[in-house]
Amino acid sequence: MSDVRADRDLVATVRELFRERCPHEVVTQAEADGAAPEKLWAEVVGMGLHLVGIPEEAGGSGGTILDALAILHAAGEQAAPLPLAETMLAAMILADAGAQIPEGALAVVPPTAELRVEGDQVSGAAARVPWARGAELLVGVVDGKAFTAPVEVTREGVDMAGMPCDDVRIDGTVVGDTAADLGLLGALARSAQLAGALEAASDLTRQYVGERVQFGQPVGRFQAVQQHVVTLAQMAAMASLSVDRAALATLRGPAPFEIKATKQVIDKNATVAARAAHQAHGAIGMTQEYRLQQLTRRLYAWRGEYGDEKQLALELGTKIAAHGKLHEVIVAGSEIIK
């Protein structure tokens, strides 16, 4: 396995798995059920994909962060209705804290949750926790301490993608100290999923405008439509490249600047790309029977998690302005901006 790129065999296998197991009908049914397809999740767990990026000696499946992000990218391409990113993040936190990783799906308490720590007990509440219902355990970080808590849903909800997103009560126990930054890990994971969905939306749009005929020729031959296709391709390519660069930066050390900049760029790209895709498709892009809406609803859902476009731009802009020399920040990145 290369230390500078994801395992190609793994990526090919995972892309094929999600392509075969996540057709439009499966995603639609999962949204209706408010739950992951049991058979597909069992396959993912059986292959150990939910624990890739975690050392085997810590209870993971081995591999690098590049492998983990490649899996999430592939899942994003097919709008896979699975708690994959959440379980990966939770397992990474537990592994870093030296705690045992339980079997089954896990949910992550967002860093924004209002929590109290008294001794080894953590209490409070958290809103809009993705995939809380159905998870075996809640995992979070507060004041550098990793904790686990039983799942106690106080209000069931769904996000814009139609996936579970519940309010929960926290009555947890500290399981160890951790240096893992949940906000950064989450931003990187969501960026990979967003990049995958952007690539898929771009491919789907290019295929559609090549097949849809109007006035005796494919609509893709019209200049106005071509502009949308080019915009989509640009946004998708930029997103995937940004994720790769941020992931490589994490291999060299903490990379808060690269990760936040990546998420900020991709959040903005998601908005532009969704608009271009639907304009190129016309009304069919919004129909339940067509796949595009499954992808663009996920773009809108994920772009607001672990920092949105404006929040991250304001944070990065403030720090860059304080430093005063933009070119130095661009060259040195997280060596200057923490």
Each of the 338 residues of the chain gets a pLDDT tens digit; together they read: 445 789 999 999 999 999 999 999 999 999 999 999 999 999 999 999 999 999 999 999 999 999 999 999 999 999 999 999 999 999 999 999 999 999 999 999 998 778 999 999 999 999 999 999 999 999 999 999 999 999 999 999 999 999 999 999 999 999 999 999 999 999 999 999 999 999 999 999 999 999 999 999 999 999 999 999 999 999 999 999 999 999 999 999 999 999 999 999 999 999 999 999 999 999 899 899 999 999 999 999 999 999 999 999 999 999 999 999 988 998 889 988 87
Torsion of Cα atoms, 268 then 290 then 188 then 177, to 10°: 130
**In terms of DSSP bridges, do strands 106-108 and 137-142 run parallel, antiparallel, or are they unpaired?**
parallel
User: Distance between CA 241 and CA 165 in Å, rounded?
Assistant: 29
**In terms of DSSP bridges, do strands 137-142 and 121-130 run parallel, antiparallel, or are they unpaired?**
unpaired
pLDDT recorded at residue 2: 45
Q: What are the CA-CA distances from residue 335 to residues 38, 323, 330, 338 (Å)?
A: 44, 12, 10, 7
Paired with 167 in beta bridges are 155
User: Distance between CA 282 and CA 302 in Å, rounded?
Assistant: 23
Q: What angle do CA 47, 48, 52 make, to 5 degrees?
A: 130
Tally of CB atoms within 10 A around 317: 11
Give the tokens for residue 24.
Answer: 């439009």
Helix (H, G, I), strand (E, B) or coil at 86: helix
Give the tokens for residue 324.
Answer: 């005063």
pLDDT recorded at residue 1: 42
User: Distance between CA 218 and CA 222 in Å, rounded?
Assistant: 8
Predicted structure pTM score: 0.96
Write out the DSSP string of 121-169.
Answer: EEEEEEEEEET-TT-SEEEEEETTEEEEE---EEE--B-TTS-BEEEEE
User: Distance between CA 139 and CA 100 in Å, rounded?
Assistant: 12
